[in-house]
Amino acid sequence: MSTSAALHHEDLHSAHDAHHEHHHHETFISKYVFSQDHKMISKQFLITGIIWAIIGGLFSVLFRLQLGYPEATFPWLEDLLGHWAKGGKLNPEFYYALVTMHGTILVFFVLTAGLSGTFANFLIPLQIGARDMASPMLNMLSYWFFFLASIIMFSSLFVQTGPASGGWTIYPPLSALGDASSGSKIGMDLWLVSMAMFIVSSLLGGLNYISTILNLRTKGMSMTRMPLTVWALFFTAILGVLSFPVLLSGAILLLFDRNLGTSFFLSDIVIGGKILPNEGGSAILFQHLFWFLGHPEVYIILLPAMGMSSEILSVNSRKPIFGYMAMVGSMFAIAILAFLVWAHHMFVTGLNPFLGAFFVLLTLLIAVPSAIKVFNWLTTLWRGNIRFTPAMLFAIGFVSMFISGGLTGIFLGNSALDIHLHDTYFVIAHFHIVMGVASFFGMFAGVYHWFPKMYGRFLNNTMAYIHFWISIVGAYLIFWPMHYEGLAGMPRRYYDFSMWESFKQFGGLNEFISFVSMIVFAAQLLFVFNFFYSIFKGRKVTSTNPWGANTLEWTTPIRPGHGNWPGEIPEVHRGAYDYGKDGREFISQIEPVGENESHH
């Protein structure tokens, strides 16, 4: 039996092994640019994501400048942005473009591609015991389609009429009619084409992740022995593969409406007293299509962060994750529910209230698996032997953010309350905390935890701690006050609030938020500096398993080559969370179960 198993592995991975032996023949291009090694592709995703995050973050600082200081002028803005900031004050059109691009970039390019692209690529083969992705070729294409999408989106920033400015949700008719605003012209077309490329990239990636996890697990790595990161990435990939095509449909139809005169989303529109010939379509249909992706997208962003935080919390509490199967089950429940609740973003579109009631019910159901997860994280920490590494701090920060942001989700999921809160700063606060900041924290936790595996060096701890404390305090200082503004009715996406008597009272608060946002942005730049500095100058990793973790990636050499394991892929004998068992601090997954070992 064991001979056949060995033969089996040899067969399965002989192609990769051959590659592994000859990898010193690799040229610069095949190693760093068109690489088919999942680890290199993951770094490509990460670094592209970091660049996008800087751009997207910078945009938010620019429009916060307008919100915080609506009366002030900044001459340097004109030097930077030219005619978009005449006299040092942001043009309203450009303000909308900034808001739109901030959302698009951070939701899709950073927290989808940058997060699951990075960690699915890096962790799946390493943690399930595979030489590489199922199809390294498609994996490489996945990155390069993402790169293409990035180039197109980036170029849209420089067209004469500006980038798309209809909000990241690009609702028609604003996005369907070229004359609606300057951002609805060529910038919008580029947005749609870029998004189509992005969807292709995410599809290629997702198919690879799914079939790798299903087909290429090493011997003994049953589904219920997989680390929670892999489970999370698995569900993420399924969500992406089934929901992104719906956005693709919407984007294609919107492109037709824009360029071929079709009436998919247009009907009964009057511009300047003239009725457009379009008839029969519905703008709300686009919202349905968009949110059919849009809601799963929230979990595409959140699930990887959940998985990584679960793993990091368990490793650094030196305790098994509490309720492993409950964690898997709740992620599964979240993934299913994610597909059923999209119209809770549309309660005020005139949605049939009876239909809306179903969406309310399904939405509130999400609170159940979410609460299970939160309690399991807390019980994992309970009486643990906690090590406050930077990764651990960010993982705890993730749990904190998930709780505070998740609770306001229960408010917003009620259609009656949503009528008051819809499109106010309450919504901004909710989704930035639960989806934006929480996922960022999960991502930071992942980077701090797996950086030693990626580059063979540690990130600088002092800078990491500064980064963490400014980020968590700053994030709460920025988004907590927004709840009050939202409850008072302050609408999102307004260019200047000083014109309304009822919102003038928030002038000081807005200024404070803008001020904090700049400090937080600076702290992120510190992280970026730390990241690139540590790649070259960081403290070297000296042991293969610096965190004392059980999972398979720590059984590879410190800097694994293409193929990951120099010899045979180890066989797995136990689950990923045997911490503190029988008085031992940790027991790696590859260690056979002893005869006298206790069962718990």
Partner 1 sequence: MSTAAVQKETKWWSGGRSPFNASYGKVMMWYFLMSDAFTFGAFLISYGTIRFSQNFWADPNHVFNSFPFAGHANLPLAFVSLMTFILIASSVTMVLAVHEGHNMNKKGVEKYMIMTIIGGIAFLSCQAWEWTHLLTGEHVALLSDGTLSVLPTTVKANPWGAELSHEAIAAALQATPHEQLASIASTLHHGGEAHHSVAAMSNAELIKFIQESDLKASNTGPIAFGGYFFGITGFHGFHVFSGVVINIVMYLKTKMGHFDQRGHYEMIEKAGLYWHFVDLVWVFVFLCFYLI
Partner 2 sequence: MSAQASSPEITFHPNHSGGTKKIWRTFWLLSVLTIIELAIGLVIYNMHKGEHPNATLVLAFKGLVCILTLAKAYYIVSIFMHLGDEIRNLIMTIVVPLCLFIWFIIAFLWDGNSWLNLRNRYQGVPAKTEQVAPAATEKGAKD
- Which residue ranges make up the site for partner 1 (CB under 8 A)? 5, 8-9, 128-129, 134-135, 138, 203, 206-208, 210-212, 214-223, 225, 241-246, 248-250, 252-253, 256, 260-264, 267, 277-282, 285, 288-289, 292, 572
Residue 340 binds: one of partner 1, partner 2, none (C-beta under 5 to 8 A by kind): partner 2
Residue 354 binds: one of partner 2, partner 1, none (C-beta under 5 to 8 A by kind): partner 2
Q: Report the alpha-carbon distance of residue 60 to residue 69 in Å, rounded.
A: 14
Q: Report the alpha-carbon distance of residue 62 to residue 157 in Å, rounded.
A: 15
Residue 438 binds: one of partner 2, partner 1, none (C-beta under 5 to 8 A by kind): none
Chain contacts with partner 2 (rule: CB under 8 A) = 8, 11-12, 215-216, 238, 242, 282, 284-285, 288, 292, 339-340, 343, 350-352, 354-355, 358-359
| 173 preceded by a cis bond (ω within 30 of 0) | yes
Q: Are 427 and 346 in contact (CB under 8 A)?
A: no
Q: How far is the CB of 205 from partner 2 (least distance, A)?
A: 18
Q: Which is nearer to partner 2, 260 or 355 (CB)?
A: 355
Q: How far is the CB of 385 from partner 2 (least distance, A)?
A: 40
Q: How far is the CB of 299 from partner 1 (least distance, A)?
A: 16
Residue 343 binds: one of partner 2, partner 1, none (C-beta under 5 to 8 A by kind): partner 2
Q: Report the alpha-carbon distance of residue 206 to residue 211 in Å, rounded.
A: 9
Residue 280 binds: one of partner 2, partner 1, none (C-beta under 5 to 8 A by kind): partner 1
Q: How far is the CB of 57 from partner 2 (least distance, A)?
A: 35
Token pair, residue 189, equals 């077309």
Q: Which is nearer to partner 1, 9 or 38 (CB)?
A: 9
Q: Which is nearer to partner 2, 284 or 519 (CB)?
A: 284
Q: Which is nearer to partner 2, 176 or 289 (CB)?
A: 289
Cβ atoms within 10 A of the Cβ of 521, count? 17
Range 290-325 burial, b when 16+ CB lie within 10 A, else e: bbbbbbbbbbbbbbbbbbbbbbbbbbbbebbbbbbe
3-state secondary structure of 555: helix
Q: How far is the CB of 64 from partner 1 (least distance, A)?
A: 36
Q: Are 269 and 177 in contact (CB under 8 A)?
A: yes
Q: How far is the CB of 303 from partner 1 (least distance, A)?
A: 18
**Of 63, 61, 58, the residue nearest 92 (C-alpha):** 63
Residue 213 binds: one of partner 2, partner 1, none (C-beta under 5 to 8 A by kind): none
Residue 244 binds: one of partner 1, partner 2, none (C-beta under 5 to 8 A by kind): partner 1
Q: Which is nearer to partner 1, 1 or 29 (CB)?
A: 1
Quick one: which H or E segment has residue 323? Answer: none
Residue 351 binds: one of partner 2, partner 1, none (C-beta under 5 to 8 A by kind): partner 2
Q: Which is nearer to partner 2, 190 or 238 (CB)?
A: 238
Amino acid (one-letter) located at 373: K
Q: How far is CA 191 from the centre of its chain?
A: 19
Residue 58 binds: one of partner 1, partner 2, none (C-beta under 5 to 8 A by kind): none
DSSP string for 156-214: GGGSTT-S--STTTT-TTTTT-TTS-GGGSHHHHHHHHHHHHHHHHHHHHHHHHHHHHH
Q: How far is the CB of 563 from partner 1 (least distance, A)?
A: 17
Q: Which is nearer to partner 2, 161 or 211 (CB)?
A: 211
Q: Report the alpha-carbon distance of residue 431 to residue 406 in Å, rounded.
A: 9
Bridge-based pairing state of the strands 274-275 and 270-271: antiparallel
Q: What is the DSSP letter of 137?
A: H
From residue 153, give the alpha-carbon distance in Å to each of 100, 104, 179, 320, 465. Answer: 12, 9, 21, 43, 34
Q: How far is the CB of 198 from partner 2 (least distance, A)?
A: 22
Q: How far is the CB of 415 from partner 1 (least distance, A)?
A: 20
Residue 248 binds: one of partner 1, partner 2, none (C-beta under 5 to 8 A by kind): partner 1
Q: Which is nearer to partner 1, 292 or 322 (CB)?
A: 292
Q: Report the alpha-carbon distance of residue 370 to residue 373 in Å, rounded.
A: 5
Q: Which is nearer to partner 1, 19 or 288 (CB)?
A: 288
Counted residue by residue, the chain has a size of: 600
Q: Which is nearer to partner 1, 129 or 563 (CB)?
A: 129
Q: How far is the CB of 355 from partner 2 (least distance, A)?
A: 5
Q: Which is nearer to partner 1, 222 or 385 (CB)?
A: 222
Cβ atoms within 10 A of the Cβ of 94, count? 23
Q: Which is nearer to partner 2, 7 or 525 (CB)?
A: 7
3-state secondary structure of 563: coil
Cα angle, residue 436 at apex, residues 85 and 299 outer, rounded to 5°: 135
Q: How far is the CB of 139 from partner 1 (least distance, A)?
A: 11
Residue 358 binds: one of partner 2, partner 1, none (C-beta under 5 to 8 A by kind): partner 2
Query: Residues 6 or more apart from 267 whose CB is under 8 A from it?
Result: 278, 279, 280, 281, 282, 283
Q: Report the alpha-carbon distance of residue 561 to residue 37 in Å, rounded.
A: 9
Residue 218 binds: one of partner 2, partner 1, none (C-beta under 5 to 8 A by kind): partner 1
Q: How far is the CB of 366 from partner 2 (least distance, A)?
A: 15
